[in-house]
Amino acid sequence: MFYLFNNHINGTIFKEVRFTQPVTLPLNFMMKICIIDDERICSFLAQKLIKKLVPDSQISHFSNGQEAIDFIAQHRSIVWSLPELIFLDINMPITNGWDFLDILQELKISNYHPLIYISSSSQDVNDIEKAKTYSSVRGYLCKPLTPLMLERILDNTSHNCVC
């Protein structure tokens, strides 16, 4: 299933948000979440939101796709240490989101199937359609990430996790 989340609140990107209750995940489950985004403000806000809703999560951040690929390749033999959920920007320097997806597929890491959500400010229909061509991409999120978006993603993720 492919999800498309679009977030427009009166044309304003930043708005005070009241957080709901933290998401309840299975006991002893520490979700590993990765944000791959070169926009510092968006990354900062996403990390704060994730920590608020999933306090026990382990969050890693990379400013471009190459840094993330290097990390994943270096830790490929320890699959349980890799991120299970990835928020991926498209337009980044060095290695963009599309190249990241292609390289990740080429790595062919057995038993590693992260849930990837494109998180982009682009609302180009071509980008949304291209995202659908990748089996690892579960959805397309229009920035910024909101509590409702994250709750829906985490709810779907918690039903699929293996503890």
Domains located in the chain, CATH noted: 3-11+29-160 (3.40.50.2300)
Q: Does residue 4 surpass a pLDDT of 50?
A: no
- pLDDT score at 143: 84
Residue 12, pLDDT above cutoff 90: no
Q: Is 143:119 a contact under the CB 8 Å cutoff? A: yes
Q: Is 2 helix (H, G, I), strand (E, B) or coil?
A: coil
Preceding amide of 144 cis, omega within 30:
yes
Handedness of CA 116, 117, 122, 128 (dihedral sign): positive
Q: What is the pLDDT of residues 76-90, one digit of tens each?
A: 998 888 999 999 999
